[in-house]
Amino acid sequence: MPENTTFFGIGKAIEDHNSFVVVSHVRPDGDAIGSILALGHALEQLGKSVRYLNNDGCPPSLKFLPGSEKVEISREVGVLDVEVAFTLDTAAHARIGGESLEAIKNAKLLINIDHHISNPGYGDLNYIDSKSPATGQIIYELLIALNLPISEISRDSIYVAVSTDTGSFQYPGTSQRTYEIAADLVGQGLDVGEINQLTYDNQPYRKVELMRALLNSLDRSHDGLLVWWNLRMKTKNELGLVDDDTEGMIDFIRSVEGVVVAVFFEDLDGGKVRVSMRSKDSRVNASEICGVFGGGGHSLAAGIRMAGPLEDAREKVLVEIREAIKRAGIS
């Protein structure tokens, strides 16, 4: 992996250029959207020209965030005339998405900021901190280090980025610093009750129907160490689901007592299968398992996009997980 740049190296790039695009991975989550909004608005406050971009746009569940209306869908913008492209929370270059890659191809400088251990450092400048629980936390540290403004938009966006990627401050990567950052944001006027309600208690009814359908597909290994469920294209069409509806669903089965690994298999268009994986034991590295199939992420949370059909993909992945559990000596 290329050597990390510094916050001040990124600051020099910001100082030396005037036009920017901030972009995050396909099927964006709270950390992806929160990070681009937080950094983008800080750049705007410096008088820079900023475009906000995502291959799939801003998901409905995050449109309550101020500034989210600025997030453009990549296929609608053509090739952008910008000097610098920031890719945020995007572990692999291809995860930016084909239409986003086309839109930013003329950028003179690519700056890659991320917290996934599997990120190879594909940018011209890279800042990868795999110990950070969220890219939003890195963005906060960047703004503080460079003495850049944290507006209300950046404040709320950083909080949502960090909160969602730490499981509401529950996951093991959550640190003392994470809580200090949250406290600082509250001190700057963040309304915790309101923003948590908008983030976690404002779901469409179809997600309840989705949960019912997923529970009907739930399966478990005989030893109870491994659980998985499947989402078929037929169910997605019947319920009228959007990509955002499946976010966070895996956490329900992850929470089952005795479970070491939870997996979510989902049919995608074009015969592909999306695999989301969560491990509750550091001896079973989800990123390494997913890496066997070209995926990656974090040691306890990772994913894959692989060829289907779902039954074939599921069998291959479950075999690999069982081997990893066996090697770890867990029984």
Reported as a single tens digit per residue, the pLDDT across 147-193 is 998 999 999 999 999 999 999 999 889 999 999 999 999 999 999 99
pLDDT digit string, tens, across residues 106-115: 999 999 999 9
Architecture label for domain 207-327: Roll (3.10)
Burial of 124 (0-12, 13-18, 19+ CB in 10 A): middle
What residue spans in the chain does CATH classification 3.90.1640.10 cover? 7-200
Burial of 269 (0-12, 13-18, 19+ CB in 10 A): exposed
- Measured between alpha carbons, how far is residue 236 from residues 209, 211, 230 in Å? 11, 12, 11
Helix (H), strand (E), coil (C) string for 161-178: HHHHHCCCCCCCCCCHHH
Q: Which is the CATH superfamily of the domain at 7-200?
A: inorganic pyrophosphatase (n-terminal core) (3.90.1640.10)
Token pair in block for residue 264:
């979510």
Q: Return left, alpha or beta for 27; rule: phi > 0 is left, psi -120 to 50 is alpha, else beta.
A: left
Looking at residue 302, its pLDDT comes to: 93
Looking at residue 65, its pLDDT comes to: 97
Which are the contacts of 269, defined by CB distance < 8 A and separation ≥ 6?
233
Question: Can you name the residues that pair with 76 across neighbouring β-strands?
Answer: none
Q: Which of 298, 248, 254, 304 is nearest to 280 (CA)?
A: 254
Looking at residue 248, its pLDDT comes to: 86
pLDDT lower than 50: segments of the chain: none
Token pair in block for residue 323:
């081997």
Q: Which of 289, 311, 310, 314 is nearest to 300 (CA)?
A: 289
* Local structure of 228: helix, strand or coil: strand
Token pair in block for residue 25:
């991975």
Looking at residue 2, its pLDDT comes to: 82
Which letter does DSSP use for residue 280 in this model?
S
pTM here?
0.90
Q: For tokens 């030396």, name the residue.
A: 16
What is the residue-wise DSSP string for 166-220? TTTTTSTT--HHHHHHHHHHHHTT--HHHHHHHHHS---THHHHHHHHHHHT-EE
The Cα 110–Cα 84 span in angstroms is: 6
What residue spans in the chain does CATH classification 3.10.310.30 cover? 207-327
Long-range CB pairs of 319-327, under 8 A, 24+ apart, other chains included: 320/289, 320/292, 320/293, 321/226, 321/261, 321/263, 321/277, 321/284, 321/289, 322/221, 322/226, 324/261, 324/284, 324/285, 324/288, 324/289, 325/225, 325/226, 325/260, 325/261, 325/284
Looking at residue 186, its pLDDT comes to: 97
Helix and strand numbers, DSSP H then E, in the chain = 12, 12
Looking at residue 331, its pLDDT comes to: 82
Which letter does DSSP use for residue 308 in this model?
S
